[in-house]
Chain A
């Protein structure tokens, strides 16, 4: 039996080499998505980045994606891409961290990039975006516009990225409206329109007049529109799903990053680095500010500019934790990157306990 397998694998190798030789002039770049490309949120934006690579470097590069890949299956999906000749592979969800490292250890000549993780290797780079900068701007808008002083927050999983998003939102809101309350529903999913809609309904029923979300489908936005309330979109500009409701969306912009990294690979200059960019690196954008009065719009734009220029840090010290104690200030006048990346506490004023 083992012999047959060996024989077959030799045949497979020969086949692989043959296809490899044919594709020599074009670099194959693979993407692994956690959701469907049609989620119009997180995976959709990564796919926009892939299309940007096609557009910019299409004559030298061929891109491929695998969508909706469950975490326990991702080892195989990533290895499939390696075995079909992909030399640079982007794995775009936190849960792909260990699988990416496992496959990377087996194929030292292939380069990998893992989004939102913290473990690197000689051939595994990491990248993420400072989404919390956008959340702060949203908080400022919500603080100005809410009448009930209750904002509903549809959250996905209590990982640091989401927790720091909630905190940044709250700090932004408190900066203009100290009385504001944030109510949180954990949907325990990144993408499930049904659950996300239910979460939004529950929040609206509790008196929220603005909905924001850290899940990927437009469902919460549509619920808010149906109830005649206001809401923020997530990951991509979602205004087409709720034109009367959408205030703005945080737009993940992977285009420049992906093009730059693929270019580095083409030029033989790829190295394993950690990238964490926000407004200033053009990795996070705000969609146009809509459905709000001019003065709020101006305030939002000013806040965005202040963060972009480095004048304002969403986590500028002092930051107070939920119990009122001041959080140690490990960065320069603000919390350090490490503190934000591992954030595991709520700031003062959030009326919820963190799921443990």
Chain B
């Protein structure tokens, strides 16, 4: 006996719409069970996880700040994933973008220049991420090297490069040899938008990226090309779409957005380079991209859920003394439920008997 998935004909559109809601309900139910086992009331947990972070301006801003890198990276990844290219190394492109973007703020530190430093730094961050993503793109397009491995391995290269820089050449000379750069000038940092919180201009950039991506993916030939190459490579070939060009294009998009996310994190709220500048956004964004079914609006939603539960998770540790692992567990459950629910909407499960049919020719060993 084994299981086989076969595509359903004619899926009712309402089902597709309801599927994520159903998935969230399932995840909520499972999470409630776990919370009850831990001896807390699911109602209280819901208040703390979901409603708590939404009840004041500061927390809402924190959610937005947390969403920015996730949205940027996941939107970029959605281009790659749609084209069936598995860029797992967004974390590396994020880090490399942060490094390249920090060059100018470091060089001009203490000179009191205006916000043009910040603008150029953002552009250099995008450039850095894009350049770094060209490596797996080239290897894939010309040498057919698996982009999964090459992009993932390059994450460590970027992180170790950052590590070396902040311990060596870029180390703060007055920092007792501790591994970090000087604090950047206020003029190099992203402007803060609110008086009562840390919300920075990166959130506007993320909004623009989502809008532009929506248009590109749904209304342009390029968006169509990405989709065809991903879902029907042969048809794409017949249509004259170059797969090499597309590989480079989607990697550059994804890399530059990851790089932008990196430099936004540095200029938005860290304010200096140090060995760890990331909260694993490059990997979490993979989850976000799939939670959002690879659409920009869905990604906004997915990033919101992840940010909300992360901050809610901190609330839960403080208010209910629930462990951090529960948050991770809940986020995992949610992704699992969304994927299962989507699969079951599009496919049906059949049990197939494993007995070889008599007509199957027996192959020589």
Contact = CB atoms under 8 A, between A and B. Distances in A.
A72 B324 contact: no
Interface in A89-126: 94-95, 98, 118
Interface in B162-186: 163-164, 167-168, 176-180, 183
A8 B269 CA distance: 23
B91 interface: no
A83 B318 CA distance: 11
A356 B179 contact: no
Interface in A50-84: 64-68, 70-73, 75-77, 79-81, 83-84
Contacts of B177: 159-160, 342-344
A68 B327 CA distance: 12
B178 A158 contact: no
B272 interface: yes
B278 A8 contact: no
Given A11-B55, A98-B271, A118 B176 contact: yes
Contacts of A277: none
B311 A159 contact: no
B275 interface: yes
25 contacts: A5-B61, A6-B196, A8-B57, A8-B60, A12-B56, A12-B59, A64-B318, A66-B314, A66-B318, A67-B317, A70-B278, A72-B279, A77-B314, A79-B58, A81-B318, A84-B319, A94-B178, A95-B275, A158-B167, A158-B179, A159-B179, A160-B176, A343-B177, A355-B167, A356-B164
Given A94-B178, A159-B178, A160-B178, A12 B55 contact: yes
B194 interface: yes
A289 interface: no
Contacts of B178: 94, 118, 159-160
A1 to B, nearest CB: 10
Contacts of B318: 30, 64, 66, 80-81, 84
Given A8-B60, A9-B58, A12-B58, A80 B275 contact: no
A2 B168 CA distance: 44
B55 A76 contact: no
B117 to A, nearest CB: 20
Can you list the 5 inter-chain pairs with the closest CB atoms, starting with the nearest?
A12-B56, A9-B57, A5-B57, A344-B177, A342-B176
Given A9-B196, A72-B277, A356 B317 contact: no
A15 interface: yes
Nearest to B325: A36
B176 A71 contact: no
A321 to B, nearest CB: 15
Given A159-B178, A160-B177, A341-B176, A76 B314 contact: yes
Contacts of A118: 176, 178
Interface string B262-282: 000100011110111111100
A13 B58 CA distance: 10
Nearest to B315: A80
Contacts of B62: 76
A5 B276 contact: no
A330 to B, nearest CB: 15
B324 A67 contact: yes
Given A84-B318, A98-B271, A118-B178, A73 B279 contact: yes
A156 B318 CA distance: 30
B197 to A, nearest CB: 8
A320 interface: no
Contacts of B317: 64-67
Nearest to A116: B178
A176 to B, nearest CB: 29
Q: How many interface residues does chain B have, given as a range? A: 35 or more
B319 A70 contact: no
Contact of B56 (A9, A71, A72, A159): A9
B265 A72 contact: yes
A157 interface: yes
Interface string A130-164: 00000000000000000000000000011110000
Given A94-B178, A95-B274, A159-B177, 9 more contacts: A8-B57, A11-B56, A64-B318, A67-B317, A72-B265, A72-B278, A75-B269, A79-B58, A344-B177
Interface in B57-106: 57-62, 65-66
B198 interface: yes
Given A72-B265, A160-B176, A356-B168, A5 B194 contact: yes
A342 B271 CA distance: 23
A305 interface: no
Contact of A70 (B55, B58, B276): B276
Interface string A7-20: 01101110100000
A118 B174 CA distance: 11
Contact of A98 (B55, B58, B272): B272
A317 B242 CA distance: 70
A12 B278 CA distance: 29
A280 interface: no
A324 to B, nearest CB: 22
A8 B63 CA distance: 15
Contacts of B324: 36, 66-68
Contacts of B59: 12
A173 B168 CA distance: 29
Contacts of B315: 80
A188 interface: yes
With most chain B CB atoms within 10 A of its CB, the pick from A12, A72, A341, A356 is A72
Contacts of B180: 98
Contacts of B194: 2, 5
Contacts of A2: 194
B270 A72 contact: yes
Contacts of A70: 276, 278-280
